């Protein structure tokens, strides 16, 4: 009888572990956060993941959008998107955020505000390197999906920065804690009325494009549903 009880408890524990959701932190600036009129890529990404049967939990310290709440609330709204923030500002807070949220996967789209404020590409890349290192200290097996920036501002500068993102991923990637580049630049038309509403921030078309790129990359690292 005692053996049966022990076996049942172990089986229950294993079952609980098997349904534990993968914790995903969307991390970035305004493009990740969205405003009171735009959901950001997070909503269509959540819908795609849910329809495909993935067991995921978006995590982060806030659910707020810029100047209000999301236009709709039919998705997991937790995130770490911060309007106007540079990488160095994110770096100052990430230890606390990640320590609380304990992400398994982080989706990074950062660097736009650094470029537009005149910071050097090299310093921003170094800050991103430190960001990845900080996340790894909290979770040595964290999977980092780092985005090449969508067009916003000086396209030549964005292209140059995006090439450095590829180098950063190559130099920091490990088998235990992979760093994977997600190309959000190619095919994204930043002209207002196409994939953005203002030449920088995604409209519904742009949000869907970004979500599809994230989804394709996530399928490579998420447990099979």
23-37: pLDDT as tens digits: 999 999 999 999 999
Handedness of CA 103, 206, 129, 219 (dihedral sign): positive
The reported pTM is: 0.91
Lowest pLDDT segment from 17-31, 156-170, 211-225: 17-31
Q: How confident is the model at residue 5 (pLDDT cuts 50, 70, 90)?
A: very low
Residue 21 lies in a domain: no
pLDDT at residue 221 above 60? yes
pLDDT at residue 172 above 60? yes
Residue 100 lies in a domain: yes
Asked if 129 contacts 49 with a C-beta cutoff of 8 angstroms, the reply is: no
Residue 4 lies in a domain: no
Number of domains composing the chain = 1
The crossing angle, in degrees rounded to 10, of helices 204-218 and 42-51 is 50
Residue 144 lies in a domain: yes
Q: What is the dihedral of CA 168, 185, 213, 174, to 10 degrees?
A: -10
CATH number of residue 69's parent domain? 3.40.50.1110
Residue 80 lies in a domain: yes
Residue 42 lies in a domain: yes
Q: How confident is the model at residue 18 (pLDDT cuts 50, 70, 90)?
A: low
Report the chain's mean pLDDT, rounded to a whole number: 92
Residue 224 lies in a domain: no
Can you tell me the mean pLDDT for 45-60? 98
Can you tell me the mean pLDDT for 195-219? 98
Domain that residue 191 falls in: 27-218
pLDDT for position 19? 82
pLDDT at residue 10 above 50? no
pLDDT at residue 9 above 70? no
pLDDT at residue 99 above 70? yes
pLDDT at residue 180 above 50? yes
Residue 60 lies in a domain: yes
């Amino acid at each position: 009888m005692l053996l049966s009880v022990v076996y049942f408890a172990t089986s229950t524990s294993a079952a609980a572990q098997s349904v534990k959701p993968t914790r995903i932190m969307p991390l970035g600036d305004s493009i990740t956060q969205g405003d009171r009129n735009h959901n950001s890529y997070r909503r269509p990404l959540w819908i795609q993941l849910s329809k495909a049967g993935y067991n995921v939990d978006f995590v982060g310290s806030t659910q707020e959008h810029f100047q209000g709440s999301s236009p709709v609330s039919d998705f997991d709204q937790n995130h770490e998107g911060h309007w106007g923030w540079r990488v160095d500002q994110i770096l100052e807070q990430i230890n606390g955020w990640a320590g609380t949220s304990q992400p398994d996967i982080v989706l990074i789209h950062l660097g736009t505000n650094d470029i537009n404020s005149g910071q050097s590409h090299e310093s921003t890349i170094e800050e991103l390197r430190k960001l990845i290192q900080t996340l790894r200290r909290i979770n040595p097996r964290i999977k980092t999906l780092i985005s090449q920036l969508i067009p916003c501002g000086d396209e030549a500068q964005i292209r140059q920065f995006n090439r450095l993102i590829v180098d950063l991923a190559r130099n920091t990637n490990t088998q235990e804690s992979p760093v994977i580049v997600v190309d959000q630049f190619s095919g994204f038309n930043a002209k207002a009325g196409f994939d953005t509403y203002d030449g920088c921030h995604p409209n519904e078309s742009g949000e869907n494009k970004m979500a599809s790129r994230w989804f394709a990359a996530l399928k490579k690292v998420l447990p099979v549903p």
